[in-house]
Amino acid sequence: MYDVTNNKVVAPNTAIQKGRVKMKSLSALCGALLFSLSLAVSADPIIIKFSHVVAVDTPKGQAAERFKKLAEERTKGKVQVEVYPNSQLYKDKEEMEALQLGAVQMLAPSLAKFGPLGAREFEVFDLPYIFDSYEELHKVTQGPIGQSLLKKLDSKGIVGLAYWDNGFKVMSANKPLHMPADFRGLKMRIQSSKVLDSEMRALGANPQVMAFSEVYQALQTGVVDGTENPPSNLYTQKMHEVQKFVTVSNHGYLGYAVIVNKKFWDDLPADIRKTLEGALQDATKYANDVAKKDNEDALEAVRKSGKTQIIQLTPEERKAWKKALVKVHQEHADKIGKDLIESIYKETGFNPNAL
């Protein structure tokens, strides 16, 4: 069409303009589509892989499940926690490496497994008889000493978030263990802690560091003669089926630090991190509420199985164990830190000379 007033052909231009408008709205539509797509992508849940080495029906296994439930509910699915129990993903040493590399985001290793990271202070928890009860232990794990220990992990690329209880250890073997002399020459599986190495040597045994997942078979085949663990671990790994005697010695404590990869944790949106901290706080309370009873029930189940004889120490026998083992405190004072050990004695009232 020809515009007489402007002496211009308008029809094609109008068509072009209309085309441009169409193009514009099309690209706006594409933009909107892309935007909602990117929203959908950014709405992908944050995955927390939580690896651990024990059975689901242990204090740690149950607490991990509780954390998963609370974290997923409270973030309305923005966080998904994948729990891998029973060394399914990694064994003890590998899980620490995987956390530092970011292949998993969360773990709860035993406090006896931080030495190889260069955090020897954590071995203070392995000192024989340093805690007589959960109440004494909580003065440390729920107080300033526990917090300052967790802070030390920052430099390893790890954030320490909480302590979870398991319990007090029993000793097992295929012979009755009443007195320190009964340990002479026995090969005893231990976790990777220098303090536990000294503990077994102080009893005259030969300590062997071994991953938790390998213990049952090692006991079954005689690669080691015995081991130590809280009853919940002994029972859920069926160790009692291959150990004829269990001595309720309560000579040491085994518990956990819940840890996360620092970069992952620091990069989380602040509101999500806060929600996860709340979920963990409640899971921690749950863990510490169930631990004692779980261990009592596990010991009862071992007794009921009829496969293992349970030995209670007499006061004299207990005194002999203490006498043999308390020297380990002195042996490790330099490596762990004298001040740290003293500060714990102060909290709990432990007196190494009062034997």
Q: Nearest distance from residue 38's CB to ligand LMR, in Å?
A: 41
Q: Give residue 214's Cα distance to chain centre.
A: 18
Q: Nearest distance from residue 295's CB to ligand LMR, in Å?
A: 11
| Residue 90 or 350 having the CB closest to ligand LMR | 90
| Residue 125 or 212 having the CB closest to ligand LMR | 212
| Residue 50 or 350 having the CB closest to ligand LMR | 50
Q: Nearest distance from residue 110's CB to ligand LMR, in Å?
A: 3
Q: Nearest distance from residue 331's CB to ligand LMR, in Å?
A: 22
Gap between the Cα atoms of 186 and 114, Å rounded: 26
- Alpha helices, DSSP H, located in 55-190: 59-74, 92-101, 134-141, 144-151
| Residue 196 or 328 having the CB closest to ligand LMR | 196
Q: Nearest distance from residue 40's CB to ligand LMR, in Å?
A: 39
Question: 250: Cβ–Cβ under 8 A, 6 or more apart, which residues?
Answer: 168, 169, 170
3-state class (DSSP) for residue 130: coil
Nearest position to ligand LMR, beta carbon: 110
| Residue 60 or 66 having the CB closest to ligand LMR | 60
- Alpha-carbon Rg for the chain in angstroms: 29
- One-letter-per-residue 3-state SS of 159-206: EEEEEEEEEECEEEECCCCCCHHHHCCCEEEECCCHHHHHHHHHCCCE
* Interacting residues toward ligand LMR by CB under 6 A: 53-54, 60, 92, 110, 166, 191, 212, 229, 233
Place of tokens 């536990």: 196
End-to-end CA distance of the chain: 112
Q: Nearest distance from residue 215's CB to ligand LMR, in Å?
A: 7
Gap between the Cα atoms of 129 and 135, Å rounded: 14
Contact indicator for 247, 234 with CB cutoff of 8 Å: no
| Residue 64 or 79 having the CB closest to ligand LMR | 64
Q: Nearest distance from residue 139's CB to ligand LMR, in Å?
A: 22
Q: Nearest distance from residue 144's CB to ligand LMR, in Å?
A: 25
| Residue 92 or 225 having the CB closest to ligand LMR | 92
| Residue 54 or 280 having the CB closest to ligand LMR | 54
Gap between the Cα atoms of 221 and 216, Å rounded: 9
Q: Nearest distance from residue 126's CB to ligand LMR, in Å?
A: 11
| Residue 110 or 308 having the CB closest to ligand LMR | 110
Q: Nearest distance from residue 86's CB to ligand LMR, in Å?
A: 10
Which of 15, 92, 60, 1 is closest to 255 using CA atoms? 60
Distances, alpha carbon 177 to alpha carbons 126, 293, 313, in Å: 20, 25, 9
| Residue 75 or 110 having the CB closest to ligand LMR | 110
Distances, alpha carbon 10 to alpha carbons 2, 3, 5, 110, in Å: 6, 6, 11, 82
Gap between the Cα atoms of 112 and 158, Å rounded: 16
Neighbours of 31 (CB within 10 A): 10
Using N-to-C axis directions, what is the helix angle for 270-305 and 134-141, rounded to 10°?
A: 160
